Homo-oligomer: A and B are copies of this chain.
């Protein structure tokens, strides 16, 4: 089954647009809990509430050997057909991109990854060739600096901001039907534009909660005409809902609340 079908199925089965982001920052984690145990406990507490998980590689890499083991162990631990996205934002030339793709898809076993578009099509090909995996191309990121380059007006099929040109190219390059886009909830108008212009692409939407994006707009502007294909990520609000021993139960409560708010916001 291809990635988009797996995503649709998980979202439909759990009735959820929520993607729980695993960003295990030791400064915010409950004391005395290892990163693998932490990640597994969050997964166990939320597996029936999500359409996907997103693992942020930076936080695992920062923990060296322990983090590397936890990364592998967490991906393996997620079962039941829930897609697991490796948030790696890689982007490099051909033979290097191939090594990253092998690492993320073959070794670590991710169902999808995030990639950066700056190097162009041939830097994405090694990922896209894994036809059953998803490839989310950074389009409009959720951070303030997104405006520095992504908003530049470019001469391409008329005058269009760079992030829209990236989305146009992504659509053109989507021969295997495995491309999605990353569009931040912190830019709702841009999200709306991207969804209007690309009615079928899965959108990975970070930025609600701590970053200030509004959940209801992320849902309303992010979903396709069937109310699907918006993968709305929440990391800190769920996984650090409590810093005590009840962190997993607190994560479950937070995930239920978010799932329900997303359902209500769905047009």
Chain A residues with a Cβ under 8 A of chain B? 23, 25, 56, 58-59, 61-62, 64-65, 68, 89-97, 99-100, 102-103, 107, 116-124, 138, 141-150, 152-156, 159, 162, 165-166, 169, 211
20 A–B contact pairs at CB < 8 A? A23-B95, A23-B96, A25-B95, A56-B99, A58-B96, A58-B100, A62-B100, A65-B65, A65-B68, A89-B90, A89-B92, A119-B138, A119-B141, A119-B146, A120-B144, A121-B145, A123-B145, A149-B162, A152-B165, A154-B154
Other A-B pairs beyond A58-B100, A65-B65, A123-B145, 18, CB < 8 Å: A23-B95, A25-B99, A58-B92, A59-B99, A61-B99, A62-B99, A62-B107, A64-B68, A64-B103, A93-B142, A118-B118, A118-B150, A119-B146, A120-B145, A120-B149, A123-B143, A152-B156, A154-B155
Contact A122 B103 (CB under 8 A): no
Give CA–CA (A58, B46) in the complex, Å: 32
Chain B residues near A56 (CB, 8 Å)? Answer: 96, 99
Give CA–CA (A116, B138) in the complex, Å: 12
Chain B residues near A97 (CB, 8 Å)? Answer: 58
A147 in contact with B120 given A58-B100, A107-B64 (CB within 8 Å): yes
Contact B62 A143 (CB under 8 A): no
Give CA–CA (A231, B96) in the complex, Å: 19
Of B95, B117, B169, the residue contacting A118 (CB under 8 A) is B117
Give CA–CA (A153, B156) in the complex, Å: 8
CB distance from A204 to the nearest CB of B (A): 13
Of B96, B120, B145, the residue contacting A59 (CB under 8 A) is B96
Contact A119 B143 (CB under 8 A): yes
CB distance from A206 to the nearest CB of B (A): 8
Contact B149 A165 (CB under 8 A): yes
Chain B residues near A165 (CB, 8 Å)? Answer: 149, 152
- Most central of A97, A116, A117 by chain B CB within 10 Å: A116
